[in-house]
């Protein structure tokens, strides 16, 4: 039981390049989330999904797209990277059962855009 895994762990991009971050969970969770964490800003929600085939915008969605084609996977895409997207990205997942919404996080992806 690996929990939540993220690929890659580190990445350096040049401005304008694109990339996809992969999140996978083996806990059969319905909900999945993408956050970014920046110094002094805390964790901010980018996009989330309440089930396979559904996605929704979070607090800071601009410049990002997501897809959830399979229940266990949640992809975060950057179509044209900007230096402002330099950050640590975390994926999380949770159950949908009544009251139990604690989120379980992956190890993070450190992205640098030059």
* Residue ranges in 61-80 that form contacts with other proteins under rule CB under 8 A: none
Among 34, 48, 64, 74, binds other proteins (CB under 8 A): 48
The secondary structure of the chain in percent helix, strand, coil, rounded to multiples of 5, reads 5, 55, 45
- Total chain residues near other proteins (CB under 8 A): 27
CB 7 within 8 A of CB 20: no
**Is residue 41 within the footprint of other proteins (CB under 8 A)?**
yes
**Is residue 11 within the footprint of other proteins (CB under 8 A)?**
no
CA dihedral sign, ordered 25, 29, 34, 40: negative
Choose between 4 and 13: whose C-beta lies nearer to other proteins. 4
Smallest distance from the beta carbon of 38 to other proteins, in angstroms?
10
| Angle made by CA atoms 94, 27, 64, in degrees to the nearest 5 | 55
Q: Could you give the CA distance from residue 49 to residue 72 in angstroms, rounded to a whole number?
A: 11
**Is residue 85 within the footprint of other proteins (CB under 8 A)?**
no
Scanning 13-21, 40-48, 65-73, 78-86 for contacts with other proteins by CB under 8 A, the matching segment is 40-48
Q: What is the DSSP letter of 95?
A: -
**Is residue 86 within the footprint of other proteins (CB under 8 A)?**
no
């Amino acid at each position: 039981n690996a929990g939540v895994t993220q690929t890659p762990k580190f990445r350096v991009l040049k401005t304008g390049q694109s990339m996809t971050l992969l999140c996978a969970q083996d806990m059969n969770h319905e909900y999945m989330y993408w956050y970014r964490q920046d110094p002094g800003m805390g964790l901010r929600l980018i996009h989330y999904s309440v089930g396979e085939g559904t996605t929704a915008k979070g607090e800071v969605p601009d410049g990002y797209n997501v897809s959830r084609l399979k229940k266990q996977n949640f992809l975060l895409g950057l179509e044209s990277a900007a230096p402002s997207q330099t950050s640590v990205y975390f994926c999380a997942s949770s159950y949908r059962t009544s009251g139990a919404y604690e989120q379980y996080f992956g190890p993070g992806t450190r992205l640098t855009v030059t």
